[in-house]
């Protein structure tokens, strides 16, 4: 018989477990810091565009101007979707969540790619870049088809952010909104062993293909305890309606023992390293949109009340929710837009997992009924 002293230590939710090494990014909770390949994310958000950051995460170094030109010249024409994928998207019900559209699109791209199973790092890098190029086209097309609008073709002459806005709305909005969106993509691009990245690494650890890993990661990100929180934040803000009602609403949620989406984090127990940068971007976006101060005022009320009541800080999904709303995006597109950025982190981790693979398979402590025979009266064989 196992004594209490012999029972293994169980790390529910793998909390506090260091599962492997990584050189992609470093989250340091003690100092609220996040670096991508050694660069502070705040620095990257201040000085780089999203395509530069994607290059950095994939290749380990920021691109020289010539490397950046080569990279974007190769990437931008690949935004066009195949006829097969367009047909699949046409067949999807408009009632499904856009994350289901995206998950199905990636799964189909895997089915359509005769080389999907390759183990060649260079071939998988090309696939990662194609996903970065094509996912925004899928999200924008899905947004428009739900409204009965014709798709707007991608424009290879435009940068990532400008092209995405144009495919959605036919125009590029005010500079403050463009900058806020680019900031959100940079901040969302990577965050070490979060649940969706870990999913991608688990799938990859079986030597399955990149599309399967990304399909699993999209399914994981969709949940409201992870990426789905950015949608839940805005739905809550709309339900609250007025900043003056925010504090009472929040106290009511806590009294009812409900989680308040956009607050708390598994790793950061003080402030999420990315929030001050995204909060500043939200404030600047709000100043550029009529009525924007309603959402910044509500942000402040909710943040202050949560800190006073529970000492729990907002996470990145808290400022991105209202920022995306101010940019005019439908709420159900918020998590797909997180995917458009995190595809970079996921595929960087898939490459790293493949390069130093070990099958991911933890143990469990059994607590079910003790071993017993099949009752003879229920036996159908033997």
> Would you say 265 or 279 has its CB closer to ligand OAA?
265
278 binds, among ligand OAA, ligand ACO, none (CB under 5 to 8 A by kind): none
349 binds ligand OAA (CB under 6 A): no
| Number of residue whose CB is nearest ligand OAA | 194
199 binds ligand OAA (CB under 6 A): no
CB 186 within 8 A of CB 48: yes
> Would you say 232 or 326 has its CB closer to ligand ACO?
232
320 binds, among ligand ACO, ligand OAA, none (CB under 5 to 8 A by kind): none
For residue 100, indicate whether it is catalytic: no
Q: Whole-angstrom Cα distance, residue 382 to residue 376?
A: 10
Q: Helical H runs in 116-259? A: 121-146, 160-169, 175-188, 195-205, 210-221, 229-240, 246-255
Q: How crowded is the C-beta side of 268, counted as CA atoms within 13 Å?
A: 25
Catalytic pick from 142, 265, 272, 349?
A: 265
> Under rule CB under 6 A, which residues in 238-267 are in contact with ligand OAA?
265-267
- Provide the minimum distance between the beta carbon of 187 and ligand OAA in the complex, in angstroms, as a whole number: 8
Strand partners, 36: 25, 39
Assigned token pair, 347? 């595929």
191 binds ligand OAA (CB under 6 A): yes
> Would you say 265 or 349 has its CB closer to ligand ACO?
265
- Provide the minimum distance between the beta carbon of 338 and ligand OAA in the complex, in angstroms, as a whole number: 8
| Residues 107, 108, 109, 111, CA torsion sign | positive
CA angle (27, 32, 38) in 5-degree steps? 45
- Provide the minimum distance between the beta carbon of 351 and ligand OAA in the complex, in angstroms, as a whole number: 18
Nearest to 306 by CA among 226, 238, 236, 241: 236
> Would you say 133 or 339 has its CB closer to ligand ACO?
339
For residue 248, indicate whether it is catalytic: no
For residue 74, count other CB atoms closer than 10 A to its CB. 12
Binding residues vs ligand OAA (CB under 6 A): 191, 194, 265-267, 315-316
Please list the active-site residues: 265, 317
């Amino acid at each position: 018989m196992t004594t209490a002293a012999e029972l293994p230590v169980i790390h529910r939710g793998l909390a506090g477990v260091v599962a492997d090494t990584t050189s992609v990014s470093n989250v340091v909770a003690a100092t609220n810091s996040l670096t991508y390949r050694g660069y502070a994310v705040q620095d990257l958000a201040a000085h780089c565009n999203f395509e530069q950051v994607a290059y950095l995460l994939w290749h380990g170094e920021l691109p020289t101007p010539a490397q950046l030109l080569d990279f974007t010249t190769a990437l931008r024409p690949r935004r066009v979707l195949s006829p097969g994928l367009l047909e699949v998207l046409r067949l999807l019900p408009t009632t499904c969540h856009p994350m289901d559209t995206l998950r199905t699109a990636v799964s189909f791209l895997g089915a359509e790619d005769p080389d999907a199973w390759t183990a060649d790092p260079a071939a998988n890098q090309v696939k990662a870049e194609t996903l970065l190029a094509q996912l925004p086209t899928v999200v924008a097309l899905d947004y428009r088809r739900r409204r009965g609008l014709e798709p707007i073709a991608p424009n290879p002459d435009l940068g990532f952010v400008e092209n995405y806005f144009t495919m959605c709305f036919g125009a590029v909005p005010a500079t403050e909104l463009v900058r806020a969106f680019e900031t959100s993509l940079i901040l969302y691009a990577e965050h070490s062993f979060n649940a969706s990245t870990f999913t991608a690494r688990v799938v990859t650890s079986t030597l399955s293909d990149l599309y399967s890993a990304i399909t699993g990661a999209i399914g994981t990100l969709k949940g409201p305890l992870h990426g789905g929180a950015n949608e839940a934040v805005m739905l809550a803000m709309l339900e609250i309606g007025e900043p003056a009602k925010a504090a009472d609403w929040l106290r009511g949620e806590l009294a009812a023992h409900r989680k308040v989406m956009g607050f708390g984090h598994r790793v950061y127990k003080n402030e999420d390293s990315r929030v001050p940068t995204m909060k500043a971007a939200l404030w600047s976006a709000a100043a550029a949109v009529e009525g924007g101060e309603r959402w910044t005022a509500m942000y402040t009320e909710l943040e202050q009340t949560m800190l006073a009541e529970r000492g729990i800080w907002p996470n990145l999904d808290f400022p991105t929710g209202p920022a995306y709303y101010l940019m005019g995006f439908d709420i159900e597109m918020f998590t797909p837009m997180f995917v458009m950025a995190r595809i970079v982190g996921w595929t960087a981790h898939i490459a790293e997992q493949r390069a130093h693979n070990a099958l991911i398979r933890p143990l469990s402590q059994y607590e079910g009924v003790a071993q017993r025979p099949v009752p003879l009266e229920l036996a159908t064989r033997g």
